[in-house]
Structure 1
Amino acid sequence: MRVALAQVVTRRDISGNLELVENFARQAKKGGAEMVVFPEATMRAFGNSLLDIAEPLDGPWATRVRRIAAELGIVIVAGMFTPGDPGSAGSGQPGAGAAGSDDVRKVRNTLLVTGPGVEASYDKIHLFDAFGFAESDTVDAGTGPVTFELGGIRFGLATCYDVRFPALFTANADLGAEVNIVCASWGSGPGKVDQWRLLARARAVDTTTYVLACGQGDPATQGIEAKGSAPTGVGHSAVVSPLGEVIEELDGGTGLLFADLDPAVVKEARTKLPVLANRHTFQ
């Protein structure tokens, strides 16, 4: 199966970000991809308000993505924001009411998966409360792993900070995942690109799965200044083999990466390196 990773730099304008989705999805389809993966926060870049744009999975933004996928005949994975639990207090969000009122809520950091024969969503479990940023101030955490099937291959989903937690990737593999998708808006800083590469490769070897690591591009490559400590992307989207080899990788700028996935490669890796079968669990 041919897949594509769309390394984009999204901004505040959700309509403009939809145009990016459509343009890159068209390019992916033209290149022969059956699925195109976009980063976390495709709907709106971090560093901007989120509560005022959060919408359900049948709302207008997701519906437009769904229509693009249907028109092109391609599966799209894209990061958006959905409403959190009613009554959960979010700080620093325009339009928030008094703490404890029914209309006060946070959002969920959601991956939408949509296209011919496929409909799924995943809410980010591990919230990025690190490196001076507190995602939990405005986001409710998801509760469990999500996988989906396309073309006889099972895919597991993860978002950004999740990549630092091997158990989620193992849980996806236990559910049959041969490929793990990580959509990110990775925070910049000393050593962060190296950590991104290391973690993507480690999660591949932990689970003998392909890892599709799709991140936001570096805003500086587009002349955009970073907003405080908000994680707005470093680029370096990559496809990693089940034995940890980086098959393809982009630099910091925007771009489209193609890769061909072969389930036989996963089967061979699991024969050579049966870590899933050999592991012990501890309580």
Structure 2
Amino acid sequence: MTSLRVAAAQISTGPDPVANLATATEAVRRAADAGAALVALPEATLAAFGTDLRAVAEPLDGPFATALRKLAADLSIVIIAGLFEPSDDGRVHNTLLATGPGVEASYRKIHLYDAFGSRESDLVAPGKDLVTFELNDIQVGLATCYDLRFAAQFTALGRAGAELIVVPASWGAGPGKEEQWDLLTRARASDAQSWLLACDQSWTPPVGTDPLGIGRSALIDPLGHTRARLAAEADLLVGTVDTELAGAVRARVPIL
């Protein structure tokens, strides 16, 4: 059996990357103290939606990513966090950075949130590549927020060998959105026959159509069962992923 201690640091970020880095650092330290080998921070950890994303965007060797990289090295933990990096067309990429001992990967959000009155694609250029990386002999896949509505991406990650999929999010509040989040996180774990660690921003009052957060970060097993779920406020979820279960589920129900 291969197991991995994981954490979801459910925080709320604002427009100031310096303040957001301080909030993220405190949460990552708490996860490391709890014994986690991997900690997920939300989408838009660098700066919340509603910020001038072009103004705050940084390359992956910029100060925010560099500080996360150093923190991960100092604490011997893998950090996954949502950043914005400049794109070639004048927009930005909504990017996940995964960094830590033996790990350096990035994923650019493929499915952009052009829904419920929002137009993420006005400011964000889509990515096109699925991303997985290996940590302690476990294949970890990456996806972001609105990607949860696209089952094929998660089936593809399962076929690529992902035994854990980490999904940082800034899930917009609204009628039925909590139920949709709960449903989709469970369904996508089942589609991939993989553990799924979803880390949302903590609940923040909506501002216009900008997606902010509802909380409800969760750890879901490969059968779609919720193993742990947070409430709305800022908090830390810690749990253990057992990849033997993923292998057993795939053997019994060979849908991939």
- The interval holding the TM-score normalised by the smaller chain is over 0.9
**1:240 — aligned with what?**
220
**1:71 — aligned with what?**
74
Pairing of 1:190-209 with structure 2 (within 5 A): 190-209=175-194
Contact 2:156 2:192 in 1 (8 A): no
**1:17 — aligned with what?**
20
Once the two structures are TM-superposed, the CA of residue 47 in structure 1 deviates from its matched residue by: 1.1
| Distance of 1:32 and 1:80 partners within structure 2 | 25
AA in 2 matched with 1:32:
G
| Distance of 1:219 and 1:75 partners within structure 2 | 26
For each residue in 1:94-149, what CA deviation from the matched residue of structure 2 results, as whole angstroms up to 9, or x when unmatched?
xxxxxxxxxxx000000000001100000000000000000000000001100011
**1:54 — aligned with what?**
57
**2:162 — aligned with what?**
177
Pairing of 1:14-163 with structure 2 (within 5 A): 14-85=17-88, 88=89, 105-163=90-148
AA in 2 matched with 1:55:
E
Contact 2:159 2:192 in 1 (8 A): no
How many equivalent residue pairs? Answer: 253
Once the two structures are TM-superposed, the CA of residue 272 in structure 1 deviates from its matched residue by: 2.1
Identity rate, percent: 51
AA in 1 matched with 2:27:
F
| Distance of 1:13 and 1:44 partners within structure 2 | 6
**Which runs of 4 or more aligned residues in structure 1 lie more than 3 Å from their structure 2 counterparts after TM superposition?**
none
Unaligned runs of 5+ in 1: 89-104, 221-225, 277-283
- The counterpart of 2:239, out of the listed 243, 254, 259, is 259
- The counterpart of 1:273, out of the listed 240, 253, 256, is 253
| Distance of 1:207 and 1:123 partners within structure 2 | 19
Contact 2:140 2:164 in 1 (8 A): yes
**1:167 — aligned with what?**
152
Once the two structures are TM-superposed, the CA of residue 173 in structure 1 deviates from its matched residue by: 1.4
SS of the residue aligned with 1:206?
A: helix
| Distance of 1:207 and 1:32 partners within structure 2 | 26
SS of the residue aligned with 1:275?
A: coil
Residue 250 in structure 1 maps to residue 235 in structure 2: no
Once the two structures are TM-superposed, the CA of residue 167 in structure 1 deviates from its matched residue by: 1.2
| Distance of 1:70 and 1:21 partners within structure 2 | 15
Query: What RMSD over aligned residues (CA atoms) do the two structures have, in Å?
Result: 0.8
SS of the residue aligned with 1:47?
A: coil
Greater relative CO, 1 or 2 (CA 8 Å, sep 6+): 2
| Distance of 1:70 and 1:267 partners within structure 2 | 31
* Deviating more after overlay: 211-220 vs 194-203: 211-220
User: What's the TM-score once normalised by structure 2's chain length?
Assistant: 0.97
User: What's the TM-score once normalised by structure 1's chain length?
Assistant: 0.88
**1:92 — aligned with what?**
none
| Distance of 1:54 and 1:207 partners within structure 2 | 32
SS of the residue aligned with 1:213?
A: strand
| Distance of 1:76 and 1:21 partners within structure 2 | 10
Unaligned runs of 5+ in 2: none
